[in-house]
């Protein structure tokens, strides 16, 4: 019996693969000869929201597929995030699917040949509406399953409100085991003993304690920060973070705005504090070429944070001396060609901010 579609598409972050994802895979394999699983948030550094690399998630998907004994051809593709450009992200998904979809022999490439398999649960699945050219096939959400809860259970070593944290911890791990395929549990069990896990668990604890400062407030705070995109002679000035969150990652110099300063003054203060950049303040102010607010609600794991970034384009010539200052492990001028390859090493959305301004230099 032939299947109604030539290709079925499943899109997700799969952080990690759980039984709800297996339900999507199963439906997709029932509908189509080949299934394209598109893995989002590829090329990002590990953090508590995205703890697993695209390659690790690919292995989890393949193992779960084989464990379920699904009878369709599986193809796994990865796409990067475009935090401030949904259309570029959609184009990435379309390109990934186009590489695996083989239209019918009539050459029409009719949209009905492709099914988009998913379940609509909240704002996080709004992306399903971005592909009207594909036939949407809904799958009911598996009650109680959430990758967010699985990640929290995995990384939280001190469950709140428990008189016996060790027992609570074992109980949470048992809930994870019951919520994921056996192959995923085997992967996660091994991950618990990896150096990546230790760093993520420490960061989870830091962020949990950080957010506790504001627990119970009627209106959680909205933080205001600034970032400096300083370029000269085909280079950009970056700092390596020395503290959580994101210790060891590269970032644009910046930080929080103080009570008695303007956004620009805060930006230039942070730039000079973190890099000891030997350029006079009037020259820096005169070199500002553009600015923009970056306000994605999930851009920072610390909480709702809106940053104002400034493009500072210095005149071409020898690169001014820099050295690390406060809150920085190191500071250096990085060739733009190298910086634009650092997607897995950049903090929060700083790669997106840099990419935005590079086109204006």
Query: What is 78-138 written as a DSSP string?
Result: EEE--TT-HHHHHHHHHHHHHTT----TTS---GGGEEEEE---SGGGGGGGG-TTSEEEE
Q: How many domains is the chain built from? A: 2
Last residue of a domain, one of 174, 191, 208: 191
Same domain? 256 vs 121: no
The rounded radius of gyration (Å) of the Cα atoms in the chain is 23
Buried b (16+ CB within 10 A) or exposed e, 54-66: bebbbbbbebbbe
Within-domain flag for 154: yes
Report which of 266, 285, 272 is spatially closest to residue 326, judged by C-alpha positions: 272
Same domain? 41 vs 179: yes
Give the CATH number for residue 159.
3.40.50.620
- Confidence (pLDDT) at 183: 98
Last residue of a domain, one of 147, 168, 191: 191
Same domain? 30 vs 156: yes
Report which of 39, 43, 115 is spatially closest to residue 77, judged by C-alpha positions: 39
Residues with Cβ within 8 Å of 106's Cβ and at least 6 positions away in sequence, in order, are none
Q: Residues in the chain with pLDDT < 50?
A: 106, 109, 111
Q: Whats the size of the chain, residue-wise?
A: 361
Phi, psi dihedrals of residue 217, rounded to the nearest 5°:
-70, 140
Long-range contacts of 171-175 (CB under 8 A, 24+ apart): none
Within-domain flag for 242: yes
- Exposed / middle / buried, residue 303 (Cβ in 10 Å: 0-12, 13-18, 19+): middle
- Confidence (pLDDT) at 106: 47
Q: Give the DSSP H or E segment for 36.
A: strand 32-42
- Confidence (pLDDT) at 265: 97
333: which strand partners? 237
Q: What pTM was estimated for this model as a whole?
A: 0.91
- Confidence (pLDDT) at 163: 66
Same domain? 47 vs 163: yes
Within-domain flag for 206: no
- Confidence (pLDDT) at 110: 53
Structure token pair of residue 337: 């060609």
Query: Quick one: DSSP state of residue 343?
Result: G
Q: Give the DSSP H or E segment for 196.
A: helix 195-212
Same domain? 280 vs 138: no
Same domain? 43 vs 180: yes
Structure token pair of residue 103: 């239209």
Same domain? 181 vs 54: yes
**CA torsion 77→82→83→86, rounded to 10°?**
-100
Same domain? 315 vs 167: no
Last residue of a domain, one of 151, 172, 191: 191
Same domain? 318 vs 250: yes
Within-domain flag for 270: yes
- Confidence (pLDDT) at 144: 67
Rounded distance between C-alpha atoms, residue 340 and residue 319, angstroms:
19
- Confidence (pLDDT) at 123: 65
Same domain? 59 vs 145: yes
Q: Coil, helix or strand for 174? A: helix
Same domain? 238 vs 180: no
- Confidence (pLDDT) at 128: 86
Same domain? 232 vs 353: yes
Give the CATH number for residue 267.
3.90.79.10
What range defines the domain where residue 282 resides?
223-358
- Confidence (pLDDT) at 215: 85
Rounded distance between C-alpha atoms, residue 334 and residue 311, angstroms:
16
Within-domain flag for 213: no
- Confidence (pLDDT) at 105: 52
């Amino acid at each position: 019996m032939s299947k109604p579609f030539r290709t079925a598409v499943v899109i997700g972050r799969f952080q990690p693969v759980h039984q709800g994802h297996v339900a999507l895979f199963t439906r997709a394999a029932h509908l189509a000869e080949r299934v394209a699983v598109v893995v989002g948030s590829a090329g990002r550094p590990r953090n508590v929201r995205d703890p697993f690399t695209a390659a690790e998630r690919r292995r989890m998907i393949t193992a779960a597929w084989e464990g379920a004994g699904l009878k369709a051809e599986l193809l796994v593709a990865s796409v990067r995030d475009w935090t401030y450009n949904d259309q570029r992200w959609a184009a990435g998904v379309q390109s990934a699917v186009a590489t695996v979809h083989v239209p019918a022999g009539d050459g029409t490439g009719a949209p009905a040949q492709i099914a988009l398999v998913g379940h609509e649960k909240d704002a996080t699945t709004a992306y399903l509406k971005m592909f009207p050219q594909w036939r949407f096939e809904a799958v009911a959400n598996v009650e109680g399953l959430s990758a967010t809860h699985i990640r929290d259970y995995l990384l939280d070593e001190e469950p709140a409100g428990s008189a016996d944290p060790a027992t609570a911890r074992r109980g949470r791990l048992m809930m994870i085991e019951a919520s994921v395929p056996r192959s995923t549990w085997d992967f996660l069990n091994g991950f618990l003993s990896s150096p990546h896990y230790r760093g993520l668990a420490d960061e989870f604890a830091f962020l949990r304690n950080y957010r506790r400062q504001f627990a119970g407030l009627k209106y959680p705070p909205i933080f205001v920060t600034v970032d400096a995109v300083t370029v000269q002679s085909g280079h950009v000035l970056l700092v390596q973070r020395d503290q959580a969150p994101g210790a060891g990652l590269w970032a644009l110099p910046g930080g929080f705005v103080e009570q008695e300063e303007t956004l620009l003054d805060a930006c230039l203060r942070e730039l000079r504090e973190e890099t000891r950049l030997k350029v006079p303040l009037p020259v820096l102010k005169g070199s500002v070429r553009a600015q923009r607010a970056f306000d994605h609600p999930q851009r920072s794991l610390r909480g709702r944070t809106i940053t104002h970034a400034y493009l500072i384009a210095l005149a071409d010539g020898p690169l001014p001396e820099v050295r690390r200052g406060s809150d920085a492990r190191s500071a250096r001028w990085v060739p733009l060609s190298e910086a634009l390859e650092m997607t897995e090493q950049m903090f929060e959305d700083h790669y997106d901010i840099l990419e935005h301004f590079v086109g204006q230099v």
